[in-house]
Structure 1
Amino acid sequence: MLTKTRQAMKIAIMDRKRAGLVVAKLQHSLLCSYSMIHKDIRQMSTKNVEEIRKAQRAEGPATILGIGTATPSNCILQADYPDHYFRVTKSEHMIELKEKFMRMCEKSMIKKRYFYLNEAILRENPNMCAHIAPSLDARRDMIMEEVPRLGQEAARKAIQEWGQPISKITHIVFCTLAGMELPGFDYHLIKQLGLDPSVKRVMLYQQGCFAGGTVLRIAKDLAENNRGARVLVVCSEATVALFRGPSQTHLDSLVIQAAFGDGAAAVIVGADPDDTSLERPLFQLVSASQTILPCSDEGSIGHGQVSEVGITFNMSKNVPLITSNNIEKRLEEAFTPLGIKDWNSIFWIAHPGGPAILDHIEAKLGLKEERLRATRQVLSEYGIMISSTVLFIMDEMRKKSMEEGKATAGEGLEWGVLFGFGPGFTVETVVLHSLPINQTATPHDKSTNRLN
């Protein structure tokens, strides 16, 4: 009996071990299955994310698909400006300062400029004619009227040249030095043009003369990271915030009065142009970067501030030298990947900043005179229009290239650079690839009104 009991217990123990092994194997099998399922889910999830990311991005680089510009109707010849300026500011008694200002205007290489401000407006706002007097509210009201008006005019021209329905616009980038409002000028432009309320907006204030490159850099990122995106870029600048009477102790303000003018420029930026809808790209935006130059700070190179008297600037005589001493490094960083070392083999769209800056750049790099022809032409015909200036130069270059029968919109050359210089001292560098003219649009050649 005892033997049978022991045998039964032994059998029970063996059965329990077998059962434990079975359970362990089953658990292992379940764990393996769970691990494989989890791995498959993870792989599927990763694959889905990658597919989504790929589907969201454009295949090709961002391109310029249309350009438009606008200026106020009030045009003043540079030769007449000293008399006009000292008359409207009631400063004709400052004879020596006026003579100094006349020499500044003569050396500026500017023939004429366009302004919103005229004598009638300034008579009604005498505080704006003083060098330092409370006038911010009056300036703000004018800016709120003129900046969006000019921007809208330039935008309509760019859209007309682009030739596509405005329903295809997906993003807006609006830039201006002056004015601040909530919601901003980007919001108002959507309303004025009748764009879809879902259009995504970027509003840039208080940037300065380098920002013509900034807006292209932002638009490039938007276009290349959002498949099918069409970005309306608008730079609209008015000197309303900068205008003030002369001062014996603040000669840097006279530099602004002698050189700056009003103007707006707009471009349409998009990747993967649609051949079926006759989109004709002018330039590809190959790369874009921003840098603060070494050994420069806001106090020594350029510093602006907003106060109850408007925007005041402190400027430095060292800007031309600092710019020319640092520009070749920016070029090397941008063009080494392309194997380009000859700076005369590329076309140039450089923010003018004044003749001294251009002369220093030419001398430092050994540039031929024709390389900065478009830049000097725009400086001559419009003065310095802050962020919009480089887009005016781009427009001038492609028009002249077409008129002269060049092979590309970039003066017949394949590669080019756009430089923006401004406070900080900040430099924007955009590498451009110019496309054959027979693939590009003739300026404003599309008669169909697309603003509906």
Structure 2
Amino acid sequence: MTRIAAVHGTLAPHRYDQSAITDMVARRCLPRGADRHALDRLHRAATVRARHLTLPLDEYEALDGFGAANDVFVRTATDMGAKAVREALRLAGLTPADVDLLVFTSVTGIAAPSVDARVAGRLGLRPDVRRVPMFGLGCAGGAAGLSRVHDYLLGRPDQVAVLLSVELCSLTFQRDDPSPANLVATGLFGDGAAAVVVRGSARPGDTPGPTIVDTRSRLYPGTGRILGWEIGDSGFQVVLDPGIPDVVRRHLADDVRGFLDGHGLKPKDVSAWVCHPGGPQILDAVGEALDLPDAALDVSRRHLAEVGNLSSSSVLHLLRDTLADRRPPGGTPGLLLAMGPGFACELVLLRW
């Protein structure tokens, strides 16, 4: 089994209360003189108290077009990504020269050379490092990235892999777009990055992190239009269907129970639920579908309130927080899960 050696999360530099962001969105997205009651209601319903953003608030109103936003993404994602990987390697007691595979996931900007290549050059990773940039997985990217790292290390158990996620969601906010989907997104998403160092089973090293036991991926037919992006002249326009919680209620329980059953487990046996905080209604749907105790998703709800939804980075921040604050008893199982465009679910079975 592969072992998680270290997790490090970082946040964008500019922190604002939700009310200040709502005021900016009202100026940037609503027609002049429009009633902002619906915007205020949607932002309150997100249960987010504050978020970290890439730019100062007043610079978003001046950000002109997809090209300008993407330039900021490339520059900032490289800076934040290099910082996250450097610190995760330090925590794991490793150096950049130890890294055999670098997997990068993001859904909030594009670059060629990709961000992972830029980070590799910045940190001095070996010239023969394998790289896998992944785009389009959305909020599921952190869990899917862990799964792909695990797959790789099963075949190369003497190696070290790093998963890097950088999501600068604020750069995708659409100016002059008062659609419900855009208004919901502007109240929910924040900016952050995370890096996870994973050792193969034969790689020497004393690390206290959990092992990855198994993974599972699920695509739900007929749901491809409920979550994702429409790509237009102004960049990434969010697709966010209000029926997503119903899809979770309809499918998640069977997938999770079937996955756990293959390991002789049931949901009540899971000591830690590392669940991506897609939003309060998504967390409610997960809890109802799996009949979880009220406190099972407390770490997810706290993360959502404190920094918002960081897309693929959030579940990795939650993994870090679980390791730091609520380390489960040794030998017990945990389940890391996230959902994203496809519509898709990614499950990672852990054991402490």
Structure 1 length-normalised TM: 0.74
Q: For 1:388, which of 313, 317, 320 is the aligned residue?
A: 313
Answer 1 or 2: which has greater strand percent: 2
Give the C-alpha shift of residue 399 in structure 1: 1.1
In the other structure, the counterpart of 2:215 is 288
Give the C-alpha shift of residue 162 in structure 1: 0.3
Give the C-alpha shift of residue 273 in structure 1: 6.3
Give unpaired runs (5+ residues) of structure 2.
Answer: none
Q: For 2:102, which of 156, 162, 172 is the aligned residue?
A: 172
The 8 Å contact of residues 246 and 254 in structure 1, kept in 2 or not, is answered as: no
1:158–1:315 Cα change, 3 Å: same
- Structure showing greater radius of gyration is 1
In the other structure, the counterpart of 1:271 is 200
1:225–1:90 Cα change, 3 Å: closer
Give the C-alpha shift of residue 247 in structure 1: 3.5
Q: Which amino acid aligns with 2:184?
A: V
Distance 2:9 2:146 in 1: 16
The 8 Å contact of residues 140 and 339 in structure 2, kept in 1 or not, is answered as: yes
In the other structure, the counterpart of 1:298 is 224
Paired residue secondary structure (1:189): helix
The 8 Å contact of residues 237 and 387 in structure 1, kept in 2 or not, is answered as: yes
Indicate whether 1:213 and 2:151 are aligned. no
1:218-257 counterparts in 2 under 5 A? 218-248=148-178, 250-257=179-186
Distance 2:14 2:80 in 1: 13
Distance 1:246 1:330 in 2: 40
Q: For 2:286, which of 347, 350, 361 is the aligned residue?
A: 361
1:90-129 counterparts in 2 under 5 A? 91=30, 93-96=32-35, 98-125=36-63, 127=64
Once the two structures are superposed, residues 125-181 of structure 1 have per-residue CA deviations (whole angstroms, 9 ceiling, x without a partner) of 3x4xxxxxxx12111211111111111111112111101232211110011113322
Distance 2:202 2:15 in 1: 37
Indicate whether 1:204 and 2:134 are aligned. yes
Distance 1:107 1:246 in 2: 22
Q: For 1:332, which of 231, 248, 257 is the aligned residue?
A: 257
Once the two structures are superposed, residues 307-329 of structure 1 have per-residue CA deviations (whole angstroms, 9 ceiling, x without a partner) of 22110122211101111221111
Distance 2:149 2:158 in 1: 13
The 8 Å contact of residues 324 and 357 in structure 1, kept in 2 or not, is answered as: no
The 8 Å contact of residues 114 and 263 in structure 1, kept in 2 or not, is answered as: yes
The 8 Å contact of residues 272 and 335 in structure 2, kept in 1 or not, is answered as: yes
In the other structure, the counterpart of 2:345 is 427
The 8 Å contact of residues 343 and 365 in structure 1, kept in 2 or not, is answered as: no
Paired residue secondary structure (2:262): helix
Answer 1 or 2: which has greater helix percent: 1
1:94–1:271 Cα change, 3 Å: farther
Give unpaired runs (5+ residues) of structure 1.
Answer: 1-60, 128-134, 435-452
Paired residue secondary structure (1:424): coil
The 8 Å contact of residues 139 and 240 in structure 1, kept in 2 or not, is answered as: no
Q: Which amino acid aligns with 1:109?
A: T
Name the structure, 1 or 2, with higher relative contact order (CA <8 Å, separation 6+).
2
Paired residue secondary structure (1:212): helix
1:351–1:336 Cα change, 3 Å: same
1:273–1:226 Cα change, 3 Å: closer
Distance 1:281 1:273 in 2: 15
Number of paired residues? 352
Alpha carbon RMSD of aligned pairs, Å?
1.9
Give the C-alpha shift of residue 188 in structure 1: 0.8
Give the C-alpha shift of residue 85 in structure 1: 2.3
Once the two structures are superposed, residues 197-243 of structure 1 have per-residue CA deviations (whole angstroms, 9 ceiling, x without a partner) of 11111111232111111100110011121131100110001024421
1:423–1:84 Cα change, 3 Å: same
1:337–1:99 Cα change, 3 Å: same
In the other structure, the counterpart of 2:121 is 191
Paired residue secondary structure (2:326): helix
Give the C-alpha shift of residue 345 in structure 1: 3.8
Q: For 2:79, which of 132, 149, 156 is the aligned residue?
A: 149
1:184–1:338 Cα change, 3 Å: same
Paired residue secondary structure (1:298): coil
In the other structure, the counterpart of 2:26 is 86
The 8 Å contact of residues 142 and 240 in structure 1, kept in 2 or not, is answered as: no
1:179–1:84 Cα change, 3 Å: closer
Distance 1:407 1:290 in 2: 27
Once the two structures are superposed, residues 319-359 of structure 1 have per-residue CA deviations (whole angstroms, 9 ceiling, x without a partner) of 01111221111112211122212436432111111101111
Give the C-alpha shift of residue 421 in structure 1: 0.5
Identity %: 23
